[in-house]
Amino acid sequence: MSLPAFAADMTLGARAHRVAAVAAEFADRVDRDGRFPREATDAMKAERLLGIQIPTAFGGESASIQEIAEVCSILGQACAASAMVFAMHQIKVSSLVEHGSESEWHKDFMRELASRQLLVASATTEAGIGGNMRNSICAIEIDGGTCRLTKDATVISYGAHADAIMVTSRSSEKAAPTDQVMTVFKRGQYTIDKTVDWDTLGMRGTCSDGFLFKGEAPAVQIFPKPFAEIAAQSMLATSHLWWSSVWYGIAADAVQRAQSFVRAAARKSNGAVPPGATRLAEASNLLQLLKANIVAGLKTYADAKADPDQLSSMAFSIAMNNVKLASSETILVIINQAMIICGIMGYKNGTPYSLGRHLRDAHSAQLMISNDRILGNTSTMLLVQKPDTSLIG
Partner 1 sequence: MNETIRELLAKVGGLPVAVETLEDGADLYAAGLSSFASVQLMLAIEEKFDIEFPDNLLNRKSFASISAIEATVAQILKAREAA
Ligand X SMILES: Cc1cc2nc3c(=O)[nH]c(=O)nc-3n(C[C@H](O)[C@H](O)[C@H](O)COP(=O)(O)OP(=O)(O)OC[C@H]3O[C@@H](n4cnc5c(N)ncnc54)[C@H](O)[C@@H]3O)c2cc1C
Cβ contact 71:16 at 8 Å: yes
**Cβ 179 to partner 1, closest distance in Å?**
4
Cβ contact 43:216 at 8 Å: no
Residue from 219, 315, 367, 381 touching ligand X (CB under 6 A): that is 367
Binding mask 4-43 for ligand X (x = CB under 6 A): ----------------------------------------
244 binds ligand X (CB under 6 A): no
Residue from 124, 221, 233, 300 touching ligand X (CB under 6 A): that is 124
- The option from partner 1, ligand X, none interacting with 369 (CB < 5 to 8 A, set by class) reads ligand X
**Cβ 223 to partner 1, closest distance in Å?**
15
Angle at 225 between CA 219 and CA 230, to 5 degrees: 120
Sheet holding 180-186, edge to edge: 120-123, 164-170, 180-186
Longest alpha-carbon distance in the chain:
78
193 binds partner 1 (CB under 8 A): no
**Cβ 273 to ligand X, closest distance in Å?**
38
225-261 burial, b for 16+ CB within 10 Å, e for fewer? bbbebbbbbbbbbbbbbbbbbbbbbbbbbbbebbbeb
**Cβ 323 to partner 1, closest distance in Å?**
19
364 binds ligand X (CB under 6 A): yes
Q: Which helix (H) or strand (E) holds 167?
A: strand 164-170
**Cβ 315 to partner 1, closest distance in Å?**
6
Stretch touching ligand X by CB under 6 A, among 19-27, 57-65, 100-108, 154-162? 154-162
91 φ/ψ angles, rounded to the nearest 5 degrees: -65, -45
250-289 residues near partner 1, rule: CB under 8 A: none
Please tell me the count of residues contacting partner 1 according to CB under 8 A. Answer: 25
User: 219 by DSSP, 3-state: which?
Assistant: helix
- The option from partner 1, ligand X, none interacting with 175 (CB < 5 to 8 A, set by class) reads partner 1
Residue from 155, 182, 331, 339 touching ligand X (CB under 6 A): that is 155
Stretch touching ligand X by CB under 6 A, among 140-148, 153-161, 292-300, 301-309? 153-161
Sorted by sequence, the CB contacts under 8 Å of residue 63 that are 6+ apart come out as: 12, 52, 53
Residue from 77, 94, 125, 221 touching ligand X (CB under 6 A): that is 125
90 binds ligand X (CB under 6 A): no
Q: Which helix (H) or strand (E) holds 368?
A: none
- The option from ligand X, partner 1, none interacting with 315 (CB < 5 to 8 A, set by class) reads partner 1
Cβ contact 168:124 at 8 Å: yes
Burial of 65 (0-12, 13-18, 19+ CB in 10 A): buried
Amino acid letter, residue 190: Y
Q: How far is CA 389 from the centre of its chain?
A: 30
- Residue among 228 and 333 whose Cβ is closer to partner 1: 228
Q: Which residue is nearest to ligand X (CB)?
A: 130
232 binds partner 1 (CB under 8 A): yes
- Residue among 315 and 333 whose Cβ is closer to partner 1: 315
301-360 residues near partner 1, rule: CB under 8 A: 309-310, 312-315
110-139 residues near partner 1, rule: CB under 8 A: 134
Separation between Cα atoms, residue 250 and residue 362, nearest integer Å: 7
DSSP states along 118-129: --EEEE--BTTT
Contact positions toward partner 1, by CB under 8 A?
Answer: 134, 171, 175-179, 226, 228-229, 232, 309-310, 312-315, 377, 380-381, 383-386, 388
